[in-house]
């Protein structure tokens, strides 16, 4: 039993278009297939354009933990090439001595992408009772730049901070 050669050995798909009703059928010209009267031949052999790029790179920074000062402490930073990014950060915070407030910012240069605040009570005095903060943002960098997680507090520390930036082809915001 012969097998069809569609597309043919040159990579061309042959077909016939019915002019009266628009129906289309594919034929195997290597096996003698032809268009009948009332049909026009159509051939396809083009490769389409390359589709849009998906995420091409992911960048990750992490830090085990450090004390957070009132003047601001950079917990983690990433220096990124020019491009569009989705950025996600997570950190655990805990009070070192007493009740405290911790403010954290996700920054790209001087632009704030997201911010979060957590109030720690006097029971949150060890890293076994830490609170978690999540920060999410998007950024377009026209030239290489830095994305950072910066926190302030009077008597707290961070634990297991992670910063992930995923490069994307296009950012669509609503």
Range of the domain at 29: 1-46
Residues 41 and 63 in one domain: no
Q: What is the mean pLDDT of residues 119-135?
A: 71
Q: Is residue 174 part of a domain?
A: no
62-121: per-residue pLDDT in tens?
999 999 999 999 999 999 999 999 999 999 998 888 788 999 999 999 999 999 999 887
Phi-psi region of 75 (alpha: psi -120 to 50; beta: other; left: phi over 0): alpha
How many domains does the chain fold into? 2
Q: Is residue 86 part of a domain?
A: yes
Residues 40 and 110 in one domain: no
What integer pLDDT is reported at residue 2 of this predicted model? 55
Residues 126 and 146 in one domain: yes
Confidence of residue 127 (pLDDT cuts 50, 70, 90): very low
Which of these, 135, 143, 142, lies nearest to 165 by C-alpha position?
135
Residues 42 and 75 in one domain: no
Q: Is residue 83 part of a domain?
A: yes
């Amino acid at each position: 039993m012969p097998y069809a050669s569609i597309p043919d050995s040159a990579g061309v798909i042959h077909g016939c278009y019915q002019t009266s009703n628009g129906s289309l059928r594919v034929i195997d010209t290597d096996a003698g297939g032809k268009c009948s009267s009332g049909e026009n031949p159509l051939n396809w052999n083009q490769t389409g354009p390359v589709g849009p790029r998906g995420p091409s790179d992911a960048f990750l920074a992490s830090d085990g933990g450090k004390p957070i000062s009132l003047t601001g402490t950079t917990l983690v930073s990433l220096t990124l090439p020019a491009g569009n990014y989705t950025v996600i950060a997570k950190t655990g915070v805990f009070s070192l001595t007493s009740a405290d407030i911790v403010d954290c910012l996700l920054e790209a240069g001087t632009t704030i992408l997201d911010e979060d605040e957590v109030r720690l009570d006097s029971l949150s005095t060890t890293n076994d009772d830490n609170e978690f903060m999540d920060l999410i943002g998007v950024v377009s960098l026209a030239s290489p730049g830095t994305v950072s997680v910066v926190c302030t507090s009077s008597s707290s520390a961070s634990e297991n901070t992670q910063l992930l930036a995923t490069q994307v082809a296009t950012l669509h915001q609503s």
